[in-house]
Amino acid sequence: MNTIKWIVDKNKVKTESYPHVQQAAALLQQDEVVAFPTETVYGLGANALKDSAVAKIFKAKGRPSDNPLIVHISNQQQLINLVDNITPVAKKLTETFWPGPLTIILKKKAGISELLTAGLDTVAIRMPDHEIALALIEESGLPLAAPSANLSGKPSPTLAKHVEEDLNGKIAGIVDGGATGVGLESTVVDCTGDIPVIFRPGGVTKEQLEKVVGRVDVDPALEKEEASLKPKSPGMKYTHYAPVAPLYIVEGSPQYLQHVVDKARKDGKIVGVLSTDEQIDRIKADVVLTVGTRKDLHTIAAHLYEVLRAFNETSVDIIFSESFPQVGVGAAIMNRLQKAAGHKIVKENE
């Protein structure tokens, strides 16, 4: 398959860049798959109402069929068309955080692809906060199923070149809108009950949610890697985001991290370290890459996947990562790191 690539300036999406959006939308209307930027990561879009279109997403990504997808919309009418009932908690959250990196789960109406929902009676929906994504949805006239635009299990793409590395020749088109912003996927919240439940931490934090709706629970399945677990939302099962070399999270002091690195190098390993601006000059390893500053965890979220992919361009045999506080966006960062590491953690006090 020949993958068409368009460069679209999000600041000119309604003027000079609009013909490219129209061309990409036309492919979506023909039930083809097109990658496009959002404020979180690049998404892999297809008509959410057609099994044949959604099947192409699963095929291109190599994604397990029991892993549901998120539907992206551009207006409230599309939400009404897709769900049975917008619960009071969902109404409050969408009024506050849409458009933005928040996905809500509600009971679905008929007409949505059964492949997309993986047989569940619910559907996950969000309204992205990105000019190109919204213009593409509007122009196509379709709700778009859109998981991250990467091969299943690999780090999610924050640049169009990441999409091209994984999916060139496997999909119809790539809309290159530059770097994404948040860098981590959306927060997924089950809004079917009275108390919202986080199924995946992301760009909207638990603390932000609680300011709007009060109590918010976290699904205990987030900490599990059970093969028998039936995912209730994207990102709840399977190792995700992993670089080629095995990744370990190190919980402890900088001195302990250096001890772990030294031991691995003594064993003959070429060692990479995922570090921060504060530690990069103190850690001695074969490859040390900084992901951002601890003073602002949003910088770490924005660059995490890019750095995980960068290790694939090196010859490292093993990667050790610093750990981060699980508050605010740190909860999402650690969720992605734990998935990437397959929950392999080295602790100083053990």
Binding residues for ATP: 63, 67, 148, 156, 200, 241
Task: Report CA dihedral (78, 80, 83, 89) to the nearest 10 degrees.
Answer: 110
Torsion, CA 45, CA 49, CA 54, CA 55, rounded to 10? -160
CA distances from 232 to 120, 236, 270 (A): 8, 7, 39
Residues 75, 79: Cα–Cα separation, whole Å: 7
Tokens 């930027």 sit on residue: 37
Q: Which two tokens stand for residue 14?
A: 């309604």
Reply yes or no: is the peptide bond before residue 243 cis, omega within 30 of 0: no
Write 192-196 long-range contacts (CB < 8 A, 24+).
192/87, 192/105, 192/106, 192/107, 192/122, 193/87, 194/89, 195/89, 196/89, 196/93
Please enumerate, by residue number, every residue annotated as part of a binding site for L-threonine.
Answer: 40, 72, 122, 126, 146, 186
In the annotated binding site, the residues are: 40, 63, 67, 72, 122, 126, 146, 148, 156, 186, 200, 241
For the chain, first and last CA: distance in Å? 51
